[in-house]
Each structure stands twice: as C-alpha cells, then as structure tokens.
Structure 1
Amino acid sequence: MKPRIITGETLAAFRRHLQEAERRPATVAKYLREIQAFAGSLRPGQLVTKETVLAWKEALAQRCAPSTVNGKLAALNTFFAFLGWGECRVKPLRRQRELFRDPGRELDKGDYLHLLDAARKTGNWRLYYLMETLASTGVRVSELQYVTVQALNTGRAWVEGKGKGRLVLLTAKLCRTLGKYCRKRGIVSGPVFVTRSGRPLDRSNIWREMRALCAQAGVEAKRVFPHNFRHLFARAFYALEKDIAKLADLLGHASVETTRIYIMESGAEHTRQVERLGLVL
C-alpha cells in the first residue's frame, strides 16, 4: 500500500475529477481549500490516517459550528473516496435539527426596503435593480447571468445551477423596469447585470456593493449577503401561498427538506402562535 500523502499531484487530479463531474467552480475551490487546510494541520511527512482525520475533526469541533465542521468533512471524505482511501473517512457531527431561524441574520422586508432606498439615494441603480431581481425571483446570485435582455422580451429565463435547469418567470413589471435600465445603459443583448467590461457580475462584487450600503441603510451588515434575498423571496412566497412543494420547484430544490430551512419561523413567531392557543389561563 502506498503511503497516504497529500501532494500537488493528487490535488490536481482531484480538481480534474470535480471539473469532469461538472461541479460548480465555487464548490471545486471550496473542496480544495478545505483539503489544503487539513494538509496544513499535519506535521511534515506525517501520513494521512483515520487518527489524524479524527484529531482534525475534534479540533474543528472546538471552534466551529457543527454545520461548518460537516462541510469541511464532506470535502475531505469526497477526496478520500476519489483516492480509494475509504478507511480514512469519518462520520459528520451529529446535531439536532434546527427548529427556528436566527433572527439576527435574517433579512426582512423592512431591511430590504431600506437597502433599496439607500441604493436609490446613492444613484447605484444597477445594485437597486439587481436586489429587486434577486428578491422577486428567488434566483441564486450565480444564476443572475441567465436574466438576459432576451429573457426580458419573453418574460421567461431558463436558469442552470447545480447541474439542473429550471424555468423562472419574470413579472411584467420587472421586465419593463429592467428593459428601461438596459436601454439607458446601452445593453442590447446578453446578461442584464454586467461590469463595465461587459462581464457578468460575480458574487464578490455584488456582496461588496451590498455591504457598502449597510451604514446608510441602517441595516446590520451580517444580515446583508446575496443569498439572503433568496430566503426573503422564499418566506414571502410561502406566507402568501403556503405551498412548500411549489416553492421547492421555484427555488430549484431537489428536496423539500432543503426548502424547509428557508421558511423556518423565528422563535418569536412560534411563541405568538402558542400564546394564541390560550392554554395558559
């Protein structure tokens, strides 16, 4: 049996494997980053064994949330499976299913409106319309590139993400608004939201612009990140329709169990519901 050592060659081979499996670039980068972090925890020349992986897992558990630890372990276990090091794989941390969402990280409609107002006052119309698009469609930030001038003409955008495709309907009002924006910016085809060089905006650019609005909008920065607009759409839709299966389809989720995470109620909402039972006299 060959010594189990993580080398540049094994990492390069694993990268190719993930790319051939059509994993998203962000996933590939994350997996490689986690593997390199584990490799950095080893002493020079130390072999990879079940014991070294368990020690790393225990060290992570002391300083990271269970979901964070499990994400790192998932990357490592995938790497080990690729190399045929099955005996080095470890189980994820067991944790109780979360029943309530964290209100401290929740972007509510009031926050959203304050952000729009701040973008309008600063004249950042690209970010203004981008936030409206995320919140009114529920698309992932990586799927914004599929909101194109052509899609505005039909009111339908075919988006692809995580190896799947789905149809996203764009409201007539959104199409009119974005159409005016494109005409003003001279965008005649392709993605609506682009850089000055014409390339689709990426997650880091969008997040940076959103964070810059927080102080003026009076919204805590920890609430403001692109994916939270997707959660805002999910909660608003579910509050109106109460149809989790349809919501899962709209969001592109393979399982409604994922969708449940998006629509978890807060502890305060649960308390109000229990109080309405009238069981405390």
Structure 2
Amino acid sequence: KTVNLRIQAMNKYLDCMGKSRLRLKSVKVQQRSYLENVISNADYVFLKNKLKKEENQEWYFVVRFLAATGARVSELIQMKVEHVQMGYFDIYTKGGKIRRIYIPKALRKEATEWLGKVNRTTGYLFLNRFGERITTRGIAQQLKNYALKYGLNEKVVYPHSFRHRFAKNFLEKFNDISLLADLMGHESIETTRIYLRRSSAEQQEIVDKVITW
C-alpha cells in the first residue's frame, strides 16, 4: 500500500510534467491469509514478568502500555503522567476526529504506584537516560535488545507487535470487532478484520494437532 502511494505521487508528477507515457503501474496488494510476526500471549507474559522480576519498571510499563492500550508507538511516546491520572489519552487524527486511548483500571493502579515511588507527578511518561522524551526508534531498539537477552524471537518483539497482541486478546475476551476498530482508530472495519485470522504460528499448531491422517 505504501509503495502504491509513492507510485501514485510519481504519476501525478509525471502528468504535471507532460510525461504521462512514463506512468508506472501500481503493484497488486497481496492479502495474507494469516497474521505475520505477532508475539504470542505466552511470550508477552514471559517478557513482562522477566522485566518486573528484574525491577526494570520503566520497560515493564512500556511493554504493558503497548499491549494493554493498543497504542501505536508514536502515540505511546506522547502519553503523560496526567493521562494515567485521567485514565485516558485523546489523540487527534488526520481527519480532525478524536480517538480515545483508554488506560485500563489495573494498569492505572500499577502505574500510579510506580510513578509515586519515583516521585513523578507531571510530564511525559517514558523518558530516556537524559530525562527527555524517549523516541520511537529508542523503544524499538531496546525491545530488540531485551528479545536477545531473554532468548525470544526478535522478529516478534517490536512495538507494533504488542498492538497486534492487544487486538487478538481483546477479540478473544470480547468478540466485538466494531468496538475494536474504534479503539484502534481504524478508518475501516475491513482493516480490523485481519485480527479474526490466526497467526502463522497458530495455524501451524492447529495443523500439527488436527491432521493425523
């Protein structure tokens, strides 16, 4: 889809320059029948428990907030201590619409205790070692480091993977795809339908278990 957007822009430019004969054809989008590179619930639980056991509070909460709110990493870094106190974070989307990211009660309680211990009452929630707001790249790299440290598949330990996990877990516990689309900020419910599919690892597990003939 991203490639096609670039091609579309190039074609508009070529039209403008009077070189329409050089127009590029769009690429056919191949829809997969499975979700790729989604962290399993077991690996998510393993990772958060490891971080908690080692008292690595900040990164424990990075993982928890990604998986329990469904926030994009670009949204996560905008969250503030005040949002934890309110229990939600409002994002203004491109179309001028407001999307509300809810912070679940259990996570709010836990995060409030952590913030109280480190004496933080205001400002961005996740900071780097210089006390400045952490970057999306910083989060992605550090998650990769923890994957290597704990022997997890680094291909499934990246920020967006936890957003996928949120969606999968939500549908398993509350099967309302329309509500999930709203929570995730999807323009179309068709985008959300992919979460009704199983990951390639889940498909493999079912095939191995079911097919015995």
TM tier, shorter chain? 0.7 to 0.9
Higher alpha-carbon deviation: 213-222 or 223-232: 213-222
Is the 1:248–1:255 Cα contact (8 Å) retained in structure 2?
A: yes
Q: What letter is aligned with 1:184?
A: K
Matched, 1:75 2:6: yes
* Counterpart position of 2:27: 93
Taking only the aligned residue pairs, the percentage that are identical comes to 29
- Return the offset for 1:79: 4.4
Higher relative contact order (CA 8 A, sep 6+): 2
- Return the offset for 1:237: 0.6
Q: Which of 202, 211, 230 in structure 1 is aligned with 2:135?
A: 202
Give the whole-Å Cα distance in 1 for the aligned partners of 2:151 and 2:172. 26
Find the structure with the greater CA-based Rg. Answer: 1
* Counterpart position of 1:242: 175
Say which SS state the counterpart of residue 101 (structure 2) adopts: strand
Give the whole-Å Cα distance in 1 for the aligned partners of 2:70 and 2:100. 12
- How do residues 1-281 of structure 1 correspond to structure 2 at under 5 angstroms? 70-81=1-12, 84-85=16-17, 87=20, 88-102=22-36, 105-163=37-95, 164-266=97-199, 268-269=202-203, 272=206
Give the whole-Å Cα distance in 2 for the aligned partners of 1:184 and 1:89. 60
- Return the offset for 1:123: 3.6
- Return the offset for 1:190: 2.3
Report the structure, 1 or 2, having the larger helix content. 1
Say which SS state the counterpart of residue 201 (structure 1) adopts: coil
Q: Which consecutive residues of structure 1, in runs of 5 or more, have no partner in the other structure?
A: 1-69
Say which SS state the counterpart of residue 77 (structure 2) adopts: helix
- Return the offset for 1:227: 0.3
Q: In the superposition, relative to structure 1, how do residues 173 and 225 fare at CA in structure 2: closer, same or farther (>3 Å)?
A: same
Q: What letter is aligned with 2:32?
A: E
- Return the offset for 1:252: 0.2
Q: Which consecutive residues of structure 2, in runs of 5 or more, have no partner in the other structure?
A: none
Is the 1:147–1:192 Cα contact (8 Å) retained in structure 2?
A: yes
Give the whole-Å Cα distance in 1 for the aligned partners of 2:94 and 2:40. 27
Is the 1:126–1:193 Cα contact (8 Å) retained in structure 2?
A: yes
Say which SS state the counterpart of residue 222 (structure 1) adopts: coil
Is the 1:118–1:216 Cα contact (8 Å) retained in structure 2?
A: no
Q: TM-score, normalised by structure 1?
A: 0.64
Give the whole-Å Cα distance in 1 for the aligned partners of 2:198 and 2:132. 38
Q: TM-score, normalised by structure 2?
A: 0.83
Is the 1:138–1:230 Cα contact (8 Å) retained in structure 2?
A: yes
Is the 2:77–2:136 Cα contact (8 Å) retained in structure 1?
A: no
Give the whole-Å Cα distance in 1 for the aligned partners of 2:117 and 2:55. 14
Is the 2:4–2:26 Cα contact (8 Å) retained in structure 1?
A: yes
Q: Which runs of structure 1 show a deviation greater than 6 angstroms over 4 or more consecutive aligned residues?
A: none
Q: Please, what is the CA RMSD of the aligned residues?
A: 2.8
* Counterpart position of 1:58: none
Q: In the superposition, relative to structure 1, how do residues 266 and 152 fare at CA in structure 2: closer, same or farther (>3 Å)?
A: closer
